[in-house]
Every structure is written in structure tokens, then in C-alpha cells.
Amino acid sequence: MGEMEAPAPLAKKTTTSMSRRLCGYSVQQLSFGIRDTRAFPPSSLRIREPKKKKKRGTGTHRRRLQAQQGLLLYTPAEIMSQESSAPGVDDPARHHGPGQRGEEEDEESDEVIFSCRLDNAKSITTILSCLSHGTRKDQQAQCEVTKESMTLVVSGRAKYTQAQGSLDSSLFQEYDCVEGAKFGINLTTLLECLQIFGPGSLAQTSVSMAYQEARATFRLTLEEGGVFTSCEIRTIHQDEEAMEFSTLAKAFGRSKEVCRCILKSEILKEAFQELADLNGATSVSVTFGQEAPHLQLSAKGSNGSSEIDFPKSSEAFVCFECTARRVSWTYLMTGMETGMRALGHANETYFRVNEEGILCIQHQIPMSMGQTSFVDVLLCPDIQEMDMDEEQEEEEEEDQDGRHTMEE
């Protein structure tokens, strides 16, 4: 028997493809990466004929296609004939082609009604972090821009808390508002975009913001050390009822204030931290009175309770005024945490409470260049705790009346 021929040597693996033109045809040769492509039959080559251009329909067929697509184009001669047949009608849209009309629509959609610039992104990030509810991803903020300021409001899920942060136009290096606007925006996404270079570089990061109402887009352009990045956030259109900022503010103003005081934020932060660290505490009681203790914060947990007293003569107070002999209200711990979140950035904190128990907490936060900004938080009292306190007071009054009757 004759010797068998040795098999063809394996070719090196390759991932390149080769195409060439032969006799007007496009020939594409595939590289399989197993054997030499020369060992494969010609059937492995795919021959593709060039595509023929389709002729556009003319006459009646072209008109029928345009009518089905909702588009009807006219030739210059047809436009002239229509103008001559109706000389009294002047329609500007008829004199513009579809391309010009699309350019006009693009210009309208690109119109910016609000724009501003900050050399220091830390200012706006600080205000937004005071409004944020921790790690929640679905936090929606209501934003209102006017010629005087930019205001953001965040409401709690149960609508018993409302936090508002304002940035005056004087805080910005550039501020231009063509007309006032209100829109909703995801607060968590906005904070993530502002800190895209890292929280440590906020002081060296400049930010420019612009709002396009037609496109429902809020655009941010950040620059740090010559590096630029641009972010676009979709805004949410809401009706006027949903965009009402002063719901709790109006309720707070309907009743008379019974107590007001200004405290140093650093001292108040240390006191509230002790209540927040109490295991199992779900609510905080706030007591005001003309007699000592003039201000008391207390909470009950699963392993005990804690009470913190602030005498009127304490260095924690800047001022203290109380017209009621003694009032006490209870608020949910989650709501108080929202109201106290800005203590780490504030210099002073202003407490006000009305006859209905609505608590207003205002923080004074220092900004760059010696300017200040404010964060306001409104809290509604816990209704269940209010009912229990009222029942206890009524029982105590009945007991006292019964004792007086027995003595007589």
C-alpha cells in the first residue's frame, strides 16, 4: 500500500476578515480559525450582489403613499398654483418646507427657561443632603424656580413632614430665569450627579444647571480640574395641586404660636443623638413650659427611657419665649430625624410650635462668601399620642374633681 499523505497543517487562529471587489461583486471571505481557509471549497465564499435603488412612486401612486403616511408634499409649481387660486389666504406654514418646520420645532424644544452657575458645588449639595431621607432611591423633590430664588421641597410618604430648602439668586455666580417654572425631579439622582467626582472634590467642582421645559430635562454640567461631565435628568410634570408647597405652612399659620426659641445647633445635635441611639424608640416628646424645665426632649425605648432638659439659663439658648404654662406634643422618630438632619451643617436652629402642635424647625446654614441659607422642616404631631395625652388629662381632672367633692 502506498503511503498516506500527511494532513494539511493547522493554520494559526485569526479573527480578521477580508473583503474585496471582484467583477462588480462584493466578495467576503470568512476566517474560521481552524484550518487554512484555502482548504475550504469556494462555497464558503458569500457573493452578494449590490442592492438596486428602488424607484420612488410618481403621480397617483406617490400621492397615495404620502396620504397613507400622513405626509403630503407639494412641488413648487403646485404651491404657486394654490397661492394663485386663494390670494386672500396667507398661511405662513404653507411657505415653509418640512425641514424648516422641524428646525423651528427643535429651536422651541431647546429653549432654556432657567440657567445658573455655581463655582462651588458644595453649597447646593449641602442643602439637598439636608432634605434627603437617607438611602431611599425614590425620593421626589418639587422644585420651583423664580427670578429671586430656587426652592426645593420634599414631603414625607405619609405627608406628615415637609422639608424645604431655598437658595437665593445672590448665592450663584450666574442666575438667569426667563419665567417661573415648577417641576418634579428625583432628589437621589440629582445628588449622585452632583457628587460624580467624589464628595471630597465638591469644593473644587463648578456646576452649571439648565432647565428645558419643552424637553422636560434638567441638565447639569460639572467641571473639576479641567475635566467636564454632563448629566441629564428627566423631570416630572405635576399639576398645581401636587405642586402646592405651602400645605403645612398654611396650616401652621392658621393657629397662634405658643412657644418659640433659638438654640445652638451643635448642643442640640448632641442631645438629640442620645435619643436617636435609644434602642426601640419610635417617638419623641417635646415639652415647652414657662417653668423649669423650659424645654424637654424625651423618648422611650425597649430597654428604658431618656429625658434631656434645657433650662432657660442654659448656654444652649440664644432666646426663649413661651406664652403657655406648659404644652407637650409627641412626634414620630422618623419625622424628628428629618427635622434634625441639618444640625451638622447649621449654626443656629429656630423652634416654633402652634396651638395645634405643628412644629416648625428652621436651620441657619452658612454658605460661601459669608452668606447664609435656610432649611425649614414642618412636622405634624402623632395623633394617637395626642389622643392618649388628652384622655390622661381628662382622667386627672376627673380625679381631682372627685377628690374635691368627697372633701366637701
Q: Are strands 161-168 and 206-212 parallel, antiparallel or unpaired?
A: unpaired
Highest-scoring range by mean pLDDT, 23-32, 300-309, 398-407:
300-309
User: What confidence score (pLDDT) does residue 93 get?
Assistant: 44
Higher per-residue confidence, 341 vs 107: 341
User: What confidence score (pLDDT) does residue 133 get?
Assistant: 77
Q: Are 385 and 295 in contact (CB under 8 A)?
A: no
Q: Give percent of the chain above pLDDT 90.
A: 47
CATH topology assigned to domain 114-234? Proliferating Cell Nuclear Antigen (3.70.10)
Q: For the chain, what are the domain ranges? A: 19-48, 114-234, 247-394
- Residues contacting 282, CB < 8 A, separation 6+: 332, 333
Q: Where does 247-394 sit in CATH, by number?
A: 3.70.10.10
C-alpha cell at 117: 452657575
Higher per-residue confidence, 33 vs 67: 67
Backbone angles phi, psi at 254, to 5 degrees: -75, -25
What would the 3-class secondary structure string for 304-319 be?
CEEEEEECCCCCCEEE
Q: Could you check whether 114-234 and 247-394 share the same CATH topology?
A: yes
pLDDT tens digit string along 235-246? 987 655 554 556
Q: Report the alpha-carbon distance of residue 341 to residue 363 in Å, rounded.
A: 10
User: What confidence score (pLDDT) does residue 217 get?
Assistant: 94
User: What confidence score (pLDDT) does residue 285 get?
Assistant: 94
pLDDT tens digit string along 306-337? 999 999 888 999 999 999 999 999 999 999 99
Exposed, middle or buried by CB within 10 Å (0-12, 13-18, 19+), for 260?
A: middle
pLDDT tens digit string along 64-80? 544 444 444 444 455 44
CA angle 285, 287, 293 (to 5 degrees): 125
Query: Helices (DSSP H) in 1-160: which residue ranges?
Result: 59-68, 76-85, 98-109, 122-131
User: What confidence score (pLDDT) does residue 41 get?
Assistant: 46
Q: Report the alpha-carbon distance of residue 235 to residue 215 in Å, rounded.
A: 9
CA dihedral (143, 147, 149, 150) in degrees, to 10, reads 20
**Integer-rounded Cα radius of gyration of the chain:** 36
